[in-house]
């Protein structure tokens, strides 16, 4: 059965060439953006392409250009809000640029990061984005994946890698400046896991803000990003009589903390103010609604795809570091300290 003229299946490269009155090599050069094509010839070919609704085969284009229009994404910590939200944003940004993505999750318990990278390279990707929040993942990325363009979503990536990250230190300073401006002088911190670069950056900014203000620095309480851990640490916060505020390294731990403080007979914010980090969709519905630092995961994903495509199309350019600003979102979980 013969397929009707005008469908992508019926119209091939040679048919486009015949209808445009040029060679099929010229059609190929036009479709691949070759610079040495006269504008009139390009316009004539593209008019036929549009008229015939022609879409080049990705397989054929990969063979001709050695590009697959596919981005590999390696995700560490995929069960956590930040990496999962970033991955969704990368998918949307890649789709908007007519790229597909292939994703593999790496972890201590499952696929090692180098194995995940090797698998993606073997299956044909034009470049790699690594969502790499943990120190161990960064060390694994010291391995050289050949000539493959790489962008790492972590400011602590090895030298020579392009990076994209939210400015964790600046975001944490926004939280601390807010609490200090309210008059808080004993501000505790529930930190993220020590093997997460973001957690270390937030903790360091908390400590530096207190030192700069000449205020006491109590030992940070180390969390694991979960609400359960925030709930468990609430007892230590409640037992610190002069503490009037807590900066929690993420919203989930802040949620558990607020629950635990309530059970200990302490009110938020009347007795203790609480600030989180991330601005989860649910944070506006905590009791009380949570003051927090917003990470723009959509901007993070879009910037990482843009950075990778720049590396793909301009391989000789130097690596760049892109920082996405954070923003303080004021709600009802903070107020001036009790008298």
CATH number of the CATH domain containing 24: 1.10.260.40
Q: Where are the alpha helices (DSSP H) in 250-333?
A: 251-263, 297-313
Give the torsion through C-alpha atoms of 34, 35, 38, 40, to 10 deg.
70
**Range of lowest pLDDT (20-24, 182-186, 194-198, 245-249):** 20-24
Q: Are residues 41 and 23 in the same domain?
A: yes
pLDDT tens profile 122-136: 777 888 898 888 877
Q: Between 154 and 220, whose confidence is greater?
A: 220
Look at residue 124 and tell me if it is in a domain.
Answer: yes
Residue 212's φ and ψ, nearest 5 degrees, are -65, -30
Q: Is residue 334 part of a domain?
A: no
- Considering the domain architecture, whether residues 97 and 38 belong to the same structural domain is answered as no
Do 193 and 112 sit in the same domain of this protein?
Answer: no
330 found inside a domain: no
- Identify the CATH number of the domain in which residue 258 sits: 3.40.50.2300
- Residue 4 clears pLDDT 90, i.e. is over it: no
- Rounded CA gap, 206 and 222, in Å? 13
pLDDT digits (tens, 9 = 90+) for 82-130: 888 899 999 999 988 888 888 888 766 656 677 777 777 777 788 889 8
Tell me the two tokens of residue 136: 């161990």
169 beta partners: none
Instruction: Determine, yes or no, domain membership for 94.
Output: yes
User: From residue 325, how far is each of 174, 261, 328 by CA, in Å?
Assistant: 11, 31, 10
What pLDDT score was predicted for residue 298?
Answer: 92
Q: What is the pLDDT of residue 2?
A: 37
337 falls within a domain: no
The domain of 90 spans 70-167+297-325
Give residue-wise pLDDT tens across range 263-317. Answer: 999 999 999 999 999 999 999 999 999 999 999 999 999 999 999 999 888 888 8
């Amino acid at each position: 059965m013969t397929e009707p003229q005008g469908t992508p299946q019926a119209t091939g490269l040679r048919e486009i060439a015949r209808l445009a009155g040029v060679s099929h090599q010229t059609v190929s050069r036009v479709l691949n953006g070759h610079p040495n094509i006269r504008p009139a010839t390009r316009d004539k070919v593209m008019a036929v392409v549009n008229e015939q609704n022609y879409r080049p085969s990705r397989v054929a284009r990969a063979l001709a250009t050695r590009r697959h229009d596919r981005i590999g994404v390696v995700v560490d910590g995929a069960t956590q809000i930040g990496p999962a939200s970033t991955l969704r944003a990368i998918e949307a940004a890649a789709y908007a640029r007519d790229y597909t993505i292939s994703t593999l999750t790496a972890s201590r318990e499952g696929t090692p990061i180098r194995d995940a990278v090797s698998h993606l390279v073997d299956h044909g990707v034009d470049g790699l984005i690594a969502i790499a929040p943990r120190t161990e993942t960064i060390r694994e990325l010291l391995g050289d994946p050949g000539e493959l363009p790489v962008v790492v979503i972590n400011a602590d990536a090895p030298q020579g890698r392009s990076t994209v990250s939210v400015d964790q230190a600046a975001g944490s300073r926004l939280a601390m400046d807010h609490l200090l401006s309210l008059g808080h002088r004993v501000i505790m911190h529930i930190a993220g896991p020590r093997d997460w670069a973001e957690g270390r950056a937030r903790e360091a900014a908390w400590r530096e803000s207190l030192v700069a203000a000449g205020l006491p620095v109590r030992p940070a309480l180390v969390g694991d990003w979960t609400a359960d851990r925030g709930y468990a640490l609430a007892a230590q916060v409640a037992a610190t009589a002069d503490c009037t505020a807590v900066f929690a390294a993420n919203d989930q731990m802040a949620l558990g903390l607020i629950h635990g403080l309530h059970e200990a007979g302490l009110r938020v914010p009347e007795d203790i103010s609480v600030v989180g980090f991330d601005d989860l969709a649910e944070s506006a519905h905590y009791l009380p609604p949570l003051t927090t630092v917003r990470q723009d995961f959509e901007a993070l994903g879009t910037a990482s795809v843009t950075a990778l495509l720049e590396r793909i199309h301009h391989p000789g350019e130097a690596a760049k570091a892109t920082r996405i600003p954070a923003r303080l979102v004021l709600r009802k979980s903070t107020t001036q300290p009790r008298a």
